[in-house]
Structure 1
């Protein structure tokens, strides 16, 4: 039973716990209760999704609002909300596009798709200038894996345990989270998983906190396995916010170059400015061979994703890598282009770097005063607060984390819990400093109350 409980807590807040039952029992709102019942009746149930938590009616700026009129600062947003919700520049761009060209069939192109692809090449750097669009991040991961096979002639891939690259069979085939692979049977052949560079509770911890030896193990596996075509990873793991060192990533890039292994970087949740750079890999001074982006690319409105690769890998002319119905969606491209324009016009990259310093100091101060906090880590406006029952044993404080989640919802703040005990805080990049202060006040209030028992 304990093993099953730990498995269920491998990602997110769970929709079958006592805390969820308690939350729904106090809603006291017939319309909400009826809609949740209808939702549970018509949607297929799955972990972390349906049955649902609440019913939403509005989303604007950094806030979501439920059917009862309760407003929540959204620090979750499924990572699509870099610009918050209903950003006026994105909304207007979509409206304008709908009035002219709402859809572009296969074999035809359009100006906004060309402009969007060109702009992506500009912000990615070096020779990352060949683009394919798709409706979602899972799809572009699949395209990246296909392209890697074409370029290298090998189907073998190395990925990281506990990683997430999407929920389709090919994506979970290279993913490392048990809750997505459970009972799925045979998955992608030729995939080897290795431990991620985790400093706080990694499998090979070192007293000085160094993590380059995790990269050295990557080389060991490449050499022993033979015929490896690609290594896929997030630069910074989004779910529970694992932040490797620059030395680790420099070493990984060196290893991939040495062994002719393509480096596929998944920036689907963290791209579009969350780290204070357009893409998190830029913070580490490396460049991937294939880049996967999505989520926030569509401005929090349109499902939109892209695979970007180097010019010299334009070698799949006879293969359909991503033959998607909305391959060059004018509306999706209008949303993506407007998102990039808004990030530039609102100077959000510079703002995020300033916010990073504030959040780091605030969370470290909390850690110094609450024994419940075992670790604090993050970049830009992506932060993880790991809760433990004991700093010595590092036993995960899963019940406390869930209680804090629901207490924060009562206080008007929504976020997610990862790995059962990590509060993952990822606010919209447009959040102003006073709102950020109020949000962290709510987090501290909840931690203080739960710590006091």
Structure 2
């Protein structure tokens, strides 16, 4: 089956022959039977069901499958900053379960307030108002509604290839075909521009262009006076696109000039992933709204939310979220424990040190192997881009998939983004030795597929 290019944007696909071959060669009959039963009862969807494998345990940086095989998890759906089964997080949740497992809306609880206060203390500037929700998609929805109410304008500008969640409003501002294609009419007023470092940018790429994509954005803003918000990922997490500081400095200036709110989606990247608690700290700007999620819940509890500037507290007469688990006492305990664990164990500093380890090893791979077209890293978020032709940047899609499954056989799990980008997202608790072992596995697989 030939797969359309947009099916390979967010992650590796679950419809390929390479996946089928890996399963037949590596999984027991018992595991295959469970996968078949899973496929019988769950609705099928891209990248999910049918599933790759059956996981029965997760501990620290490792996943263990039904056949007893262990994998270092450098994927984790970006929720595993503090590792799996983190005792500090789990003990905080257990204590809260005994004290207050749930409370209805209209009421608050001390742990939710402590969490909100902690976020206000951590976030820069006047980012000190929060709302919580169980999922990142709903966090984006709340941010969009707040922007409309605060500005009186309904249009947004976001980028193609971006991911902001799977809800109808989130895929409207998102830019990935695997979520948007053949769905029908989406949210009106959701305009799009080219992303940073787009291969199909009208000037042929971002190297040395003077950020002409922002010239185009300014052109849009001068002609659209009803744009209320710009929605961006400060670092594109799936294939690790890292704009320079000048990009966001100018973006902030454009928003201020045209009265547009800047919403930054840090759902997969906040809480230490890039070596700072929030990604936008690298850019020395203060956004108007930050969406958080994924790792916020400590790899245990689904927690997300928004952090907004003080002056945006203007929607008391409507419900921006009002979700059943909006101020979950258990979720708040998990999130607060996660932040405390990151702080008390020096994981921000560790992530910054491991960035040097990633960069040195990946630069070495780029120097040794022609198919390594580019490497990108920020903290413990890394990408190795594979090409068949460096000058044309032609994607090595089949080879990237073979490399991923070769690594799986040797005990390393990660995902492939954009068809050809090996994205490595380890837990922040991963040691230098474990990271070096993982990179040894990746390098051996690159050599095996391209050289041997």
Common topology (TM > 0.5): yes
The Cα offsets for residues 363-400 of structure 1, whole Å up to 9 and x where unpaired, read as: 01100000111111121111111100011221100000
Equivalent pairs counted in the alignment come to 452
The answer to whether the 8 Å contact 2:373/2:385 transfers is yes
The answer to whether the 8 Å contact 2:73/2:426 transfers is yes
The answer to whether the 8 Å contact 2:198/2:206 transfers is no
Partner residue in 1 for 2:193: 194
1:223 aligns with 2:210: no
Partner residue in 1 for 2:51: 52
The Cα offsets for residues 57-79 of structure 1, whole Å up to 9 and x where unpaired, read as: 11000000001110000000000
User: Partners of 2:173 and 2:227 in 1: how far apart?
Assistant: 13
Pairwise CA distance, 1:154: 0.8
User: Partners of 1:237 and 1:10 in 2: how far apart?
Assistant: 12
1:284 aligns with 2:257: no
Counterparts of 1:364-383 in structure 2, within 5 Å, are: 364-383=363-382
Pairwise CA distance, 1:10: 2.5
The answer to whether the 8 Å contact 1:276/1:380 transfers is yes
The answer to whether the 8 Å contact 1:389/1:396 transfers is yes
Give the root-mean-square deviation of aligned CA atoms: 1.3
Counterparts of 1:28-427 in structure 2, within 5 Å, are: 28-198=27-197, 202-205=201-204, 208-427=207-426
The answer to whether the 8 Å contact 1:157/1:191 transfers is yes
2:44 alignment partner, SS class? coil
Partner residue in 1 for 2:16: 17
2:389 alignment partner, SS class? coil
Pairwise CA distance, 1:49: 0.3
The answer to whether the 8 Å contact 2:387/2:396 transfers is yes
The Cα offsets for residues 187-228 of structure 1, whole Å up to 9 and x where unpaired, read as: 010111001111766443468545532222211111112211
The answer to whether the 8 Å contact 1:148/1:230 transfers is yes
Pairwise CA distance, 1:31: 2.0
The answer to whether the 8 Å contact 1:386/1:423 transfers is yes
User: Partners of 2:259 and 2:208 in 1: how far apart?
Assistant: 29
User: Partners of 1:138 and 1:200 in 2: how far apart?
Assistant: 27
Pairwise CA distance, 1:132: 0.4
Over 3 Å counting, the alpha-carbon distance change for 1:350 and 1:251 in structure 2 is same
The answer to whether the 8 Å contact 2:11/2:419 transfers is yes
Pairwise CA distance, 1:290: 0.5
1:322 alignment partner, SS class? coil
Over 3 Å counting, the alpha-carbon distance change for 1:255 and 1:32 in structure 2 is same
User: Partners of 2:253 and 2:351 in 1: how far apart?
Assistant: 29
The answer to whether the 8 Å contact 2:34/2:54 transfers is yes
The answer to whether the 8 Å contact 2:199/2:205 transfers is no
User: Partners of 1:354 and 1:415 in 2: how far apart?
Assistant: 21
Over 3 Å counting, the alpha-carbon distance change for 1:289 and 1:34 in structure 2 is same
Over 3 Å counting, the alpha-carbon distance change for 1:334 and 1:125 in structure 2 is same
The answer to whether the 8 Å contact 1:212/1:251 transfers is no
1:389 alignment partner, SS class? strand
Unaligned stretches of 5+ residues in structure 1: none
The Cα offsets for residues 5-27 of structure 1, whole Å up to 9 and x where unpaired, read as: 32322231111111011011113
Unaligned stretches of 5+ residues in structure 2: none
Partner residue in 2 for 1:431: 430
User: Partners of 2:32 and 2:84 in 1: how far apart?
Assistant: 25
